[in-house]
Structure formats: C-alpha cells, structure tokens
Amino acid sequence: MFSMVPFFNAVVIEDGKTGKPLAFFDAQEDSEFSIEYIHSIHKTPVREIYHVHHEEILQTEMRFQEFGVGMPSGASEGEMFAQKDGNYILSNMKRTFPSLDIRIGQIIANHTLLLNGNKYPFSSFSEKGSWVSIKVEKLNVWQRLIGGIKLG
C-alpha cells in the first residue's frame, strides 16, 4: 500500500532543535533558491545562491560588497572571482551540503529566502535568534499537509 503513496521533492526548513518542519517549497533537480542577509559586521548585503542537486544543496554563487570576517578573499580551484556593479561575485562554486544550518539574526541580519522572485523573511516562520536547518527531502501527501508553511 505504501508503494502507491506519491512522494514529492521539497526543500524543507526545520526547527534546528526539534526537527519540526516550519516551511517547505517544492523542488526539482537544479531548482534554485537564495538566502540573503545583512552581514553583522560590515552591515552590507550578502546573497548566497543554491541549487537542489541529488538530494543535497549545492552552493553555486556568493555576492557581497565588503571583504572581511566571514567573507571569502578569493576563489578556490575552479571557481571564478569578479567585481561588478559594486559587488564581489564568487561564481562557479560547487560546494555541496547535506543541510544548511542557520542561526536567524535577531537585530541586523534579516535572513530572507528568495524563491521564484518572491522574498520570505525567515522571521515569518521562525523566531529571531532561533536555529533552522534547511535540507532536501522527499515528502508524501500527509507530510506536505502538516509540513509547515508552503512557500513558492
């Protein structure tokens, strides 16, 4: 009977402590999403671009305006580093992660998910200062119904 239950690929945002689903969005292979935030020291925007890749998260690009703490100072092997329109762009990245763990900023960061031209502040589905984990999962119909806020 369970073999007839359809499953859907999704990027799921969970409470980092409890594993409770907070939000999700449907995702196919190579689906793109970004996370944007204000750097706590430089007070400038940072955008990290990701893709779904074989049930993992692949970071492909990073854009930022200032060098310093926590920011790359150059490209790793195979990556490209450029400056355009006041931004530093690190591209051709191929960094895979089974999940992304993020501590939601309390004051400055304003972590925001960018998806299909829409912006979703993380604070709209999780508390400021909380820890979330982002991962690619297969959800069945029931999990989609109870899986938090559907984004996108």
When pLDDT is cut at 50, 70 and 90, the band that residue 2 belongs to is low
Question: So what's the pLDDT on residue 74?
Answer: 83
Mean pLDDT of 83-89: 93
Alpha helix locations (H) across the chain?
141-146
Residue 148 near residue 13 (C-beta atoms within 8 A): yes
Task: Pinpoint the alpha helices (H) of 69-147.
Answer: 141-146
Q: What are phi and psi of 74, to 5 degrees?
A: -175, -175
Nearest residue to 10 (alpha-carbon basis) of 48, 44, 62, 57: 57
- State what percent of residues in the chain have pLDDT above 90: 71
Q: What is the pLDDT of residues 24-78, one digit of tens each?
A: 999 999 999 999 999 988 899 999 999 999 999 999 999 999 887 888 888 899 9
> pTM (2 decimals)?
0.90
Query: Would the pLDDT of 6 be above 90?
Result: no
Does residue 5 have a pLDDT over 80? no
The residue ranges of every structural domain in the chain are: 2-150
Residue 58 and residue 131: Cα distance in Å, rounded? Answer: 20
Report d(CA 113, CA 97) in Å as an integer.
17
For 60-82, give one letter per residue: b (16+ CB within 10 A) or e.
bbbbbbeeeeebeeeeeeebeee
